[in-house]
Copies of this chain bind each other. A is one copy, B any other.
Amino acid sequence: MDKNLSLLQETELFRGLSEDQVRKIFAIGRKVDFPAAATIMTEGEIGDTMYIIWAGTVEVVKTLVLAGVEEEEGLEKNKVFTRLGAEQHAVFGEIALLEEAKRTATIRAITDVSLYEIRKDAFLRLAGEDPALGYRIMYNLARIVSARLRKADEDTIKLTTALSLILKETAG
């Protein structure tokens, strides 16, 4: 199998697909390039595309403070930064396959990057034509989102613990 196809097959989202099914996925997408420092997607905007990192590194920037409060209280530095690279076969924006949802983070190119872009409508058409492919990808996607939810729940517990301890201290 060609190197591009095997990269696609190694991403978590496409795990377990046959070579023939990976070829179908490959056929509905297109390669897009961004120069270093370009903004690929913006937190809060509606999107209908998902991306797989082909080459290069991107930065994921997520706001951690409510928009109004951020400006008012001078808390604009409360953001988290994560890097994703091609070696992790990282996928982002995949929630767009499920619904018209706002992007949950801003993605910026750190180096020149090559991405593989898949549009929601093309994906849903393909999944309707090949339900076994649709099932496998949705199963993978549900697992990915579920793992993120578990992580978010753990974060909530840590934050609530910290808040409880601080409030107990200031009250006592």
Contacts and interface: CB of A to CB of B under 8 A. Distances in A.
Interface string A134-172: 110011011101101110110111111111111010100
Interface string A104-143: 1000000000000000000000010001101100110111
Interface residues of A, number: 44
Nearest to A127: B135
Interface stretch (A26-34, A52-60, A63-71): A63-71
* Number of copies of this chain that the complex holds: 2
A64 B157 CA distance: 5
Interface stretch (A3-11, A82-90, A93-101): A93-101
A156 B157 contact: no
